């Protein structure tokens, strides 16, 4: 501490320098967060390529539809079998 400066003046100087330091730190933090948000937004947003879809993508979609249809058919068969079993048990 300086003996030449009054204590009140020294404290106000210290407080103002601390306030400036925190303000600068907050600014840099905000800048970093904005940059990170922009990067994430770039990754998340869909790319604008809807002009032509490749043949493999179309085939994959069709294959997915076929397999889902097969699965639903199998499930229906299983459900009917369970219903028949329950009906037999209820008759006993």
pLDDT at 26 over 80: yes
pLDDT digits (tens, 9 = 90+) for 29-53: 999 999 999 999 888 887 766 545 5
Locate the domains of the chain by residue range.
Answer: 1-45
For the CA atoms of 57, 59, 65, 67, what is the dihedral angle to 10 degrees? -120
- The whole-number pLDDT of residue 33 equals 95
pLDDT digits (tens, 9 = 90+) for 50-66: 545 555 566 556 555 55
pLDDT at 90 over 90: no
């Amino acid at each position: 501490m300086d003996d030449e400066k009054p204590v009140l003046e020294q404290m106000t100087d210290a407080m103002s320098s601390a306030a400036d330091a925190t303000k600068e730190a907050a600014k840099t933090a905000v800048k970093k967060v904005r940059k990170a948000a922009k990067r994430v937004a770039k990754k998340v947003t869909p790319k604008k390529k809807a002009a032509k879809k490749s043949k493999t993508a179309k085939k994959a979609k069709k294959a997915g539809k076929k397999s889902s249809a097969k699965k639903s058919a199998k499930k229906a068969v299983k459900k009917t079998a369970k219903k028949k079993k329950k009906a037999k048990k209820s008759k006993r």
